[in-house]
Amino acid sequence: MMSMQDVHEVLSVLEEAGLTAWVDGGWGIDALPQQATRQHSDLDLVVLLPEISAVRSALADSGYRVVLRDWLPTALALADDNGREVDLHPITPTPDGGGDQALPDGDTFHYPPPVRGVIGGRGVCCVDAMTQVHCHLNYEPSAKNRQDMLQLHDRFGVELPHPYSGITRQ
C-alpha cells in the first residue's frame, strides 16, 4: 500500500531533484477534490520522458529498485523492498504544457497541462478529471475504478462514458 506519507516522500524526492511529476491514477483522482477516499496500492505519476533516467535514479536512491514492468517508452513500474509501488507514465512534452505518452500500438495519448490538487494538505500537480476518465477506458473496470469514476462524476459533473455510464453508489 502507498500511504499519504509515502506519496509525500516520493514527491519530495522528485521535487528536490528538480524533476517533473504529476499525480495520476487513484491518488490523482483523490487530489482533485482534496480528500482520500480509499486505500491505494500504488502511486501513478506522469513524468517527462527526457527525465526518466533521472527519475529512476532519484527513486532508486529512495529504495525503489525492483522493476515490476519495463514497457518503456510507455510505462515503467518500480517497487521497494516494502512492496510500495510507483508506476511511471513518461510523456514527451508538448507546446501546450502537456505531453504525449507513447502507446504500445504506436499511437500516442495526450495529457493536457496539469491542474492543482491537494493530498494531505500538500499542493500537487495532477491530471485533470476528464483526462482521468479517458485513462480509465478500453479495459474492464474494477470496483475501485467504478468508485473513482463515480467520485469524479459526483464532485465535478464529469459525464461518464461506457462502461461507467449509469453506475450508482451501492
Whole-structure pTM over 0.85, yes or no? yes
In this prediction, residue 170 has a pLDDT band, given cuts at 50, 70 and 90, of low
Topology of the domain comprising 4-156: Beta Polymerase; domain 2 (3.30.460)
Q: For the segment 37-93, what is each residue's pLDDT rounded down to a tens digit? A: 999 999 999 999 999 999 999 999 999 998 999 999 999 999 999 999 999 999 999
Gap between the Cα atoms of 152 and 148, Å rounded: 6
Q: Residue 43: its pLDDT value, please?
A: 98
Each domain of the chain, given as residue ranges in start order, spans: 4-156
Q: For the segment 17-43, what is each residue's pLDDT rounded down to a tens digit? A: 999 999 999 999 999 999 999 999 999
Gap between the Cα atoms of 93 and 113, Å rounded: 10
